Amino acid sequence: MTDVTTNIPPDSTKDSLSANRILLALVGVALLVNYVETMVIPGIPTIQSHFATTSTISSWITSAYLIVGAAVSPLFGKLGDSYGKKRMFLISLVFYMAGVGIAGFSPSIYFLLFARGLQGIGFAIIPLSLAIVSESFPKEKISTAQGIISGTFAIGAAAGLIIGSYVVEDLGWQYAFHTALVLSLVLFAVVAKVLQRDRPGIKQKIDYLGASILMAGVILVLVYITEGPSLGWLSFQELLLLIPGLALTFYFFVFERNRTNPLIHLGLLRIRNVFVANMIGLVSAIVMFLLFFAVVYYTQLPISVGLGLSVIASGISMAPSTLGMMAVGPSIGRFIPRYGPKPALLIGSGVLIAGLFLFLLNRATRIDVVVDMVVALAGIVCIIVPIVNMVAISVPRENIAVGLGMNTLLRNIGGAIGPVVATSVMSSYTSQYVVNGFAVPGKFFPNATAFNINFEIGIALTIVVIALSLATKNYTFRKS
């Protein structure tokens, strides 16, 4: 293992108290975002029933947010490098508040999807937070600070799964968004006061056309996956979605290579650890959101096909796993400076595979699901923290926000693919609902095969993560 040299200023130039205040403010915003996004997950079956829509369309409640977030993260990263990270952070938070504000008043599922897309613009908060942390802390403390922010996924998720479940069941899903709006207004005032004044950056042209090409391509491919079970994977209508979608996605990378100021700096992908971190981010995000959706539907489906839990019971069953992530996040952040990201990635992948195998072997009771999720999500957080640190450490200082935005883009694309894959598999493998030995006419639910296939897909993709992790160039930080 070797030391690495970065362009991050030494500890002596930092005001520790100011840095800790900044971290605390950013943690508050990250908690809010992760609360809202996790609150949505156990509420999706309720929202589906409220609007009398299908599970595949409902999966877009998450995917719409993530797809827009995927496109804007590198965009806002570049804007942050050019015009100031604080300014773009606050603008991003305004979009998020607007989306949250109107979501609770949605008259239709499609209006809700629009509101979720608006919230997606606010997802740039996360990579901008990580970039601000990278500039506020010395190199040996960056991974710990990033681990704390990444760990907010767990705390926010626990709040979303527990508090959000009660709100959804007792007050209605609309009030989950209403309460989030109030909290976001308070946090906006706090962040505006605490974040340091922006340093002037180099002004660059912004590649809005590239962002549009990428978003169009990804949306077409995801609609293809969504409609596959009903239209037929090789039907004419499906191919009209798949072929242009793949063509636009491929063309995006050709288009970016010839741009003076591209949305994604493909040159950064020539840095080995940046390339590895981005590929792992894409694949692991598919696994994470596929797992979330499969487990949420499994726990809430009627007994004989699922566990028959209420929204509250389903949320509480998933909460212990997020608390485990809260403990593991900072711990893995302290592990990386000493041992490097490569061992952390391999350990995390092994733990995730163990959790997915547990779902295949034993998920008959609520306690089984709790244990399985604790193991699986502990593995997930051991993957997320190293890849964020790899990007922040490997890219030039002036490209930190762009680099983290690109990583977030690919993780969001993976996160958008996961729910669509999970619901498509569940739509493809169904059985008629049987009560007391009698089939209920017109009622079909995903069967055991559907869930097994989802978990097997997760295992296969995690093996890909292991293969990618072996290519990591390891590094450590020696104390001076």
* 431-440 residue pLDDT tens: 887 777 776 7
- Higher model confidence: residue 294 or residue 137? 294
In this structure, of 83-87, 108-112, 258-262, 470-474, the range with the lowest mean pLDDT score is 258-262
Residue count of the chain: 480
How does residue 469 score in pLDDT terms, banded at 50, 70 and 90?
very high
Residue 6, pLDDT > 60, answer no
In a shared domain, residues 149 and 227: no
For residues 28 and 216, give the distance between their C-alpha atoms in angstroms, rounded to a whole number.
33
In this structure, of 153-162, 374-383, 413-422, 459-468, the range with the lowest mean pLDDT score is 153-162
For residues 197 and 192, give the distance between their C-alpha atoms in angstroms, rounded to a whole number.
10
Instruction: Count structural domains, the chain.
Output: 2
35 is in which domain, residue-wise? 15-196+261-469
In a shared domain, residues 307 and 215: no
The residue type of 315 is G
In-domain check, residue 271: yes
Tell me, what's the pLDDT at 15? 57
* 182-203 residue pLDDT tens: 888 888 888 888 887 766 556 6
For residues 256 and 337, give the distance between their C-alpha atoms in angstroms, rounded to a whole number.
34
In a shared domain, residues 410 and 363: yes
Count Cβ neighbours within 10 Å for each residue of 364-392 and write b for 16 or more, e otherwise: eebebbebbbbbbbbbbbbbbbbbbbbbb
Distances (CA, A) of 286 to 40, 253, 290: 18, 21, 6
In a shared domain, residues 345 and 267: yes
In a shared domain, residues 163 and 63: yes
The pTM is what? Answer: 0.73
In-domain check, residue 1: no
In a shared domain, residues 251 and 376: no
Tell me, what's the pLDDT at 13? 43
Tell me, what's the pLDDT at 8? 42
In-domain check, residue 5: no
Q: What is the 3-state secondary structure (H, E, C) of 1-31?
A: CCCCCCCCCCHHHCCHHHHHHHHHHHHHHHH
How does residue 36 score in pLDDT terms, banded at 50, 70 and 90?
confident
How does residue 229 score in pLDDT terms, banded at 50, 70 and 90?
low
For residues 399 and 134, give the distance between their C-alpha atoms in angstroms, rounded to a whole number.
11
Domain boundary residue among 243, 260, 277?
260
In this structure, of 21-30, 144-153, 381-390, 457-466, the range with the lowest mean pLDDT score is 144-153
Q: Is 441 helix (H, G, I), strand (E, B) or coil?
A: strand
Residue 173, pLDDT > 60, answer yes
In a shared domain, residues 74 and 173: yes
Tell me, what's the pLDDT at 365? 92
Residue-by-residue DSSP string for 222-240: HHHHHHHHHH-TTSHHHHH
In-domain check, residue 440: yes
Tell me, what's the pLDDT at 339? 92
In a shared domain, residues 283 and 296: yes
Distances (CA, A) of 446 to 279, 289, 302, 419: 31, 18, 11, 15
How does residue 226 score in pLDDT terms, banded at 50, 70 and 90?
low
How does residue 106 score in pLDDT terms, banded at 50, 70 and 90?
very high
Residue 18, pLDDT > 50, answer yes
How does residue 478 score in pLDDT terms, banded at 50, 70 and 90?
low
* 47-93 residue pLDDT tens: 888 888 877 788 788 778 877 877 777 778 778 877 788 888 899 99
Mean pLDDT for all residues in the chain:
82
For residues 421 and 363, give the distance between their C-alpha atoms in angstroms, rounded to a whole number.
21
In a shared domain, residues 231 and 300: no
In this structure, of 157-161, 322-326, 384-388, 439-443, the range with the lowest mean pLDDT score is 157-161
C-beta separation of 121 from 360 below 8 A? no
Tell me, what's the pLDDT at 283? 96
In-domain check, residue 474: no
How does residue 17 score in pLDDT terms, banded at 50, 70 and 90?
low
